[in-house]
Structure 1
Amino acid sequence: MVTDRRSEFEATLTRTAEARGQEAGAALQRASLLRDAIHRFIRNRAAVVAAVAFVVMVGFVILTPWLSHGSAYGVDFAQAYKSPSWAHPFGTDEFGRDLLVRTALGGRVSIAIGFAATIAIMIVGILYGAISGFAGGRIDDMLMRFLDALYGLPYLPFAIITLAIFGTVNFWTMVVALTIASWFTTARVMRGQIITLKENDYVRAANALGARWYRVLFRHLLPNTLGVILIFVFLELPGVVLGEAFLSFIGLGISPPKASWGTLAQDGYSAYEAHPYIIIIPSLAIAWLILSAFFVADGLRDALDPRTRET
C-alpha cells in the first residue's frame, strides 16, 4: 500500500514536472518567435514606412494645437475662407477659424474614438470568442448562432439605430455604437484561435493536472493569441475611424464647436466648389491614417506568421 502511494506520488510529480517543462518551453518559444517577428517587421520597408506615417499622424494631432498660434474656435469673419498660406497652412473656414488647428483637434477626437472603440471591440470580441471556442459543444453552437444572426444586420444602420436609442451623440455614445456594430469578426477569429490552441500538449497537460478553466484560458490560451490581437487592433482601427467619419458626415457626429475629421468634411461639403481644400484636407487625413494602419497590420501579419520564418 505504501509502495502504491509512493508510485502515485512520483507519477504526480513527474506529470507536474512535464507540464511545467512544457509551459517553460512554450514561453521560450514565444520569446524566440517575438524576436524573429520584430526582425521580419523591420525588414519590411512598407510596414516600417507605414508605422512611421502612423506615428507622424498621431504626433501631428497631439502637438499641433500646442505649437500653432491659430485659433480653432475664435470667430473672425474678416479671415473667412482664406486659402492655404504661410499664416494659415490649411486655410480657414467660413468663420475664419484656422483649419490646421481644427484638423489636429478633429484628429484627436477621431483617433481617440477609434482607439477607445477598438479597445472595447477587442475586449468584447476576445471574451465572447474565447468563451465560445473554449466551452465547445452546445454553448459554442448557441453563441455562434447568435453571432450569425448579428452578422445579418448592416453595419452602419446598426450603429445609427444604437445612437437613436441613446438619443444623444457624444464621445461615449459614439464609442458604444461603433463597438456594438463592429465586434463580430473579432469574436469569430478569436474562437478559431482558441479551438486550435486548446489542442496543444501544454494545454492538455494543464487540464490533466486539474487546472481550473479560467487559469487555462487566461494563462495558457489567450497569451498565445497576442499576435492576432495586435494585428486586429490595426485592422479594426481604420474601420472604426471611417465609420465615425461617415456618421459625422451625415450629421450624427460630435456637436459643434468641437469637431472630428468627419464633421470637418461635412463642413467643407457645402463649400466644395469654391473652397475644395476644406473637404480635401480632412479626407486626406482620414486616408493617411487608414492606409498607414492597414499597411502596419499587413506587416504585422507577415512578421507574426510562422510560415514566413526563415529556414
Structure 2
Amino acid sequence: MAAAVSAKPPISAAAARPPGYYVRQRLWQNRPAVAGLAFIALCTLVALLGYWIMPDNSPNANHGFVQVQKEGPGLRVQLLRQPLPDSARLGAATDNIFTTWLRGREPEWQETPIGGYEFAGDSIILKPLGEHSAEAGRLRRLPLATVAGHPGPRASLQREIQESHLLTRTYALGTDKAGRDELSRLLLGTRISLGIGLVAVLISLVLGMAVGAVAGYFGGWVDSLLLGLMTVVWSIPGIMLVIAISLALDSKGVWVSFVAVGLTMWVDVARVVRGQMLSLRSATFVEAGRVLGLPTARLIAQHLLPNMRGPLIVLATSNFASAILLEAGLSFLGLGVQPPAPSWGLMVKEGYDLLGTQAGLWLTLLPGTAISLLVLSFNLLGNGLRDAYDPKTPVAV
C-alpha cells in the first residue's frame, strides 16, 4: 500500500499580503484623498517641467509690456519682432535645455505690441497699442531692412516680415500690473510653493526626528531639557520666528525662505517622535537589541524610527500644507520670496494692491485659488493617509 503523503494546505493570497498592501487599498478607496493626490501629482509635473511648458519662458516669467498691463483673460495681442543687438543675442544663444529648465531662456527677439500696421514704400508704419503707451495716437515708421535685420528687395522684405516678424500672442489668464503673462507666473509659482514645502518638510523631519528620538529614548534630564526647548519654540508664532531667522541671516530671498520655514516646523515632528519613542523604548525587541549590544544610534535609526513611518508620513503632508501657507503669508508681507520671482503669495499681494480696479479681482483670485487648491489637496491626502494607516478602517480585499 502506497504511503499516504500529507500535503499542507496552501497559504491563501490574502494571508501572505504585507501590511503595506492594506494601507494602499484603504488609500485608493478614499476618493477625496486620491483626488488630492492626483492634483499634487499634476502640480509636481508642472513644477518639474517648469520653463519648458510656460508660454513666457524668460527668467522668472518677467517679460512684460506696459502697453498690455492689467488686461483680462483671453487677451490677444499682435507683436512685431525685431533682431536683438549682437551682445544680447549672444546671451540668448548660450542657453541650452538644462539652463532653460533651471532659470529660463533669455528673449531672442525684441518684441513690440502694436495696434496695427501697413507698408508704405520701403517702410512699415506701426500704430501704437493701448492708452498706456507714451506714443499713444502717434504712428511710428520703421525701415523694412531694420525690422528684417538685413537689406533686400522690397517685396521680399515685406513677405518675410509678415511671415516671421509679425505674430499674435494670446494671454489665456490675462496680464498683471507689469504686463507679464499671468498664466506663466502661476505655473512657475508652483515650483516655488512645492520647493519650499519640500525643503521645509525635509528640514523639519531631520531635526524633529533627531531631537524627539533623543528626548524620548534617554528620558530623564535630557528629556526635560529638550522638552523645555520644544515648549519655548512652540510658544513663538511661526511668522515671528521666520522674521527673526531672516533678520539673523541678514538676507531675503527664496533660499532664506526655504530654510526659515523649515526651522519653524520641527517641533510638531519632535513631539510626535518623542511620544512614540516613550512607548516603544520598553518593547521586547528594544530590550533584545540592548542585550545583543547594538549601538544606541543603530537601535534608534534602524529599529525604532521605522516603526513610526505611518504617523510621520501623515505629519509630513500636514506640514507641507502649513509650509505653503506660511510662505504665502510671508511673501504677502514682503518678507519671503522677493520680486520678480513669481511666488503665489506675492502675486496675491500685487492683486490686493489693485482691488477696486477692474484687474484687481482676477489678479487676487487666481493665485489665491491656486494656494487654496494645493493646501486642500495636501489636507485631503493627509486625512486619507491617517485613515489608511488605521487598522480599524475597513478595507475591501
TM-score bucket of the superposed structures, by smaller chain: 0.7 to 0.9
Give the conservation status (yes or no) of the 8 Å contact 1:80–1:94: yes
What secondary structure sits across from 2:392 in the alignment?
helix
* 1:286-301 → structure 2 map (5 Å cutoff): 286-301=371-386
Unaligned runs of 5+ in 1: 1-28
CA distance in structure 2 between the aligned counterparts of 1:273 and 1:58, rounded to whole angstroms: 34
* Residue 146 of structure 1: aligned partner: 229
AA aligned opposite 1:289: L
**Is residue 255 of structure 1 aligned with residue 244 of structure 2?**
no
Pairing 1:308–2:375 present: no
Superposed CA deviations along residues 70-93 of structure 1, whole A, max 9, x for unmatched, are 362112112211211172222101
- Counterpart of 2:104 in structure 1 is none
- Paired letter, 1:292: S
1:62–1:104 Cα contact (<8 Å) kept: no
Q: What is the CA-CA distance between 1:176 and the residue it aligns to?
A: 2.0
CA distance in 2, matches of 1:140, 1:206: 22
Would the aligned equivalents of 1:70 and 1:88 in 2 still touch at CA under 8 Å? Answer: no
Q: What is the aligned partner in structure 2 of residue 33 from structure 1?
A: 19
Match of 2:71 in 1: 82
> Do the aligned residues in 2 keep the contact of 1:234 with 1:296 (CA within 8 Å)?
yes
2:365 is matched with: 280
Q: CA, structure 1 residues 60+139, in 2 after alignment: closer, same or farther (shift >3 Å)? A: same
Letter in structure 1 aligned against 2:312: I
User: Which entry has the higher C-alpha Rg, 1 or 2?
Assistant: 2
Query: Does 2:317 align with 1:234?
Result: yes
Q: Which is richer in strand?
A: 2
- Give the structure 1 partner of residue 30 of structure 2: 44
Distance 1:223 1:158 in 2: 30
Q: Give the length in aligned residue pairs.
A: 283
* Contact 2:199–2:262 (CA under 8 A) maintained in structure 1: no
The within-5 A match list for 1:47-196 is 47-63=33-49, 65-70=51-56, 72-85=61-74, 87-196=170-279
Give per-residue Cα distances to partners, 1:253-286, cap 9 Å, x unaligned. 2222212111111111111222111111111111
Q: Distance in 2 between matches of 1:177 and 1:119?
A: 12
Return closer, same or farther for 1:270/1:116 CA change in 2, 3 Å cut-off: same
- Secondary structure of 2:73's match? coil
Contact 1:132 1:143 in 2 (8 A): yes
Q: Deviations over 1:186-235 (max 9, x none)?
A: 10011111112223221221112221111211111011111122111111
Q: Is the 8 Å Cα contact of residues 215 and 223 (structure 2) preserved in structure 1?
A: yes
Give secondary structure in 2 for the equivalent of 1:271: coil
Which residue number corresponds to residue 202 of structure 1?
A: 285
The alpha carbon displacement at 1:144 in A equals 0.7
TM-score, normalised by the number of residues in structure 1: 0.86
RMSD: 2.0
Aligned equivalents of 1:90, 1:62: Cα separation in 2:
21
Sequence identity (%): 30
Query: One-letter code of the match for 1:83?
Result: G
Distance 1:67 1:172 in 2: 24
After superposition, the Cα gap between the structure-2 partners of 1:148 and 1:102, relative to the gap in structure 1 and judged at 3 Å, is same
Query: 1 CA distance for matches of 2:50 and 2:382?
Result: 26
User: Following the alignment from structure 1 to structure 2, what is the Cα–Cα distance between the partners of residues 293 and 246?
Assistant: 18
* SS class of match (1:307): coil
Tell me which protein shows more helix as a share of its residues.
1
Quick one: distance in 1 between partners of 2:46 and 2:355?
25
TM-fit CA distance, 1:132: 0.7
Q: Which protein has greater RCO, CA pairs closer than 8 Å, 6+ apart?
A: 1
Return the alpha-carbon distance in structure 2 between the equivalents of residues 65 and 273 of structure 1: 32
Change (3 A) 1:146 1:67: closer
Alignment correspondent of 2:4? none
Q: Is the 8 A contact 2:200 2:263 kept in 1?
A: no
Structure 2: segments with no counterpart, 5+ residues: 1-14, 76-169
Looking at structure 1, the residues matched to 395 and 185 of structure 2 have their Cα atoms a distance apart, in angstroms, of 47
Partners of 2:56 and 2:63 within 8 A in 1: no
In 1, distance between residues paired with 2:307 and 2:379? 22
How many Å separate the matches in 2 of 1:236 and 1:51? 15
CA distance in 1, matches of 2:311, 2:259: 23
Partner of 1:134, secondary structure, is helix
